[in-house]
Amino acid sequence: MDFFLTLLPVIMGRVACGWFCPYAALHDIFFTKLKYRRLKWSNKLKVVRFPLLFTLLGVVATIEIFWEWDFFIWYCRIYFILAIVWGFIFKPRDWCRYVCILGAYAQIFSRIRILGIKVDKDLCLRCKQCKCDENCLINVDWEMVKKTWMTPDYCVICLNCINSCRSGAVYAWRVH
């Protein structure tokens, strides 16, 4: 577990969230097929995300320590139920981007990642209907990417952008 949450994000960002996470797989398999209008996350909630998540983690850890609550048994069950409910209400990968405590922890370490997704500014066609934006699982802000020429630390390295870029401007490479 430490490898997926600490070491791997330092090397490749949140790649474990995109390729190994069972909750993300659940969202990709079931909830992307359901086509209906879903709620959007408020910008105010995006700002308080990390303090909220780590406060929740502190409360859960305190309960586990003082009331001998078996964290690993209940955590998986509660997390699974929350992930399912979340997938019905919000966009499927919004769980990964805004709520997942494990993803938030990995995102902190992914800020110093070595490898990631880059965009070649000379090859980029700056499409009005960017296929990278349309096919991104986690809704990366591609307008921001076109200013920094690399994906942000919350990118889960799904590689959909690499496969969908018409000009071949998007690729995996060293980011720092």
Contacts of 50 (CB under 8 A, 6+ apart): 104
Are the C-beta atoms of 157 and 24 separated by less than 8 Å? no
| pLDDT tens-digit readout, 82-133 | 888 888 888 878 888 888 888 888 888 898 999 999 999 999 999 888 999 9
More confident residue, 43 or 72: 43
Alpha-carbon gap, residue 135 to 147, rounded angstroms: 19
Is 0.75 surpassed by the pTM of this model? yes
Residue 174 binned pLDDT confidence (cut-offs 50, 70, 90): confident
Structure-token pair, residue 88: 């019905």
| pLDDT tens-digit readout, 6-49 | 788 899 999 998 898 888 888 888 887 778 888 887 777 777 87
Map out the domains of the chain with their CATH numbers. Answer: 2-110 (no CATH), 117-174 (3.30.70.20)
Are the C-beta atoms of 159 and 121 separated by less than 8 Å? no
Structure-token pair, residue 92: 């499927």
